[in-house]
Amino acid sequence: MLISSAFLKGLGVSAGLIMAIGAQNAHVLRMGLKRQHVVLTVIACVLIDACLISLGVAGMGAVVQNSPNLMIVARWGGTAFLLWYGLRSWRAAFSSNTLETDSKAQTLTTREALLTVLALSLLNPHVYLDTVVLIGSIGGRHPTSEQTKFIAGAISASLLWFCALGFGAHLLSPWFARPIAWRGIDALTGTTMLGLAALVALG
């Protein structure tokens, strides 16, 4: 059976957006490297994406786009969050900490892990811009009969990416045990977040 073009488009659009380094991805990577609550973190991220993408394709993205007030809130709220997280990442890049992956590493409780991933996902306006507005508006242009396939493709990209990031991260643990490596990813994350903040503010 041939895979529909709508499914492939959803897969490609979602992958292109979700693979960019951001707060959510950085957190999944950290949990994977520390081997803490990986299943919970991955499932939470995928379910959040699935809900937001479905809402966007169903019409919520168009509602946001057509509401100047909502767009203003999303724009400046997203800018503030990205700016804060970017500066936070750069501050971490200049610290002397290494990633602790052994038994001495601080362990989050299940509740703390869930609240953390929910906060980094749902309190980040940029997540809504990606899933509800961008993916939603693209998927919403498809005929109703094709929208379900588009959504399935977009959610598949989220599932594949977060599984690879969370469950594959432990392979990088020896490399990230060195201070320079973790500083590098914090610097890259910070640069990306500040760049996204500028794009959202100017957009």
Check whether 45 has a pLDDT greater than 90.
yes
Tell me the HSE value of 160 on the side-chain side, using a 13 A CA sphere.
12
Say what the pTM is: 0.71
Higher pLDDT, 166 or 96: 166
Which pLDDT band holds residue 141 (cuts at 50, 70, 90)?
confident
Q: How far is CA 159 from CA 29, 67, 88, in A?
A: 14, 31, 28
Chain mean pLDDT for the chain: 80
Q: What is the 3-state secondary structure (H, E, C) of the chain?
A: CCCCHHHHHHHHHHHHHHCCCCHHHHHHHHHHHHCCCHHHHHHHHHHHHHHHHHHHHHHHHHHHHCCHHHHHHHHHHHHHHHHHHHHHHHHHHCCCCCCCCCCCCCCCCHHHHHHHHHHHHHCCHHHHHHHHHHHHHHHHCCCHHHHHHHHHHHHHHHHHHHHHHHHHHHHHHHHHCCHHHHHHHHHHHHHHHHHHHHHHHHC
Return the percentage of the chain with pLDDT > 90, whole number: 23
* Token output for 195: 């760049």
Q: What is the pLDDT of residues 102-133, one digit of tens each?
A: 444 567 889 999 998 998 888 777 788 788 87
In the chain, where are the structural domains located? 5-202
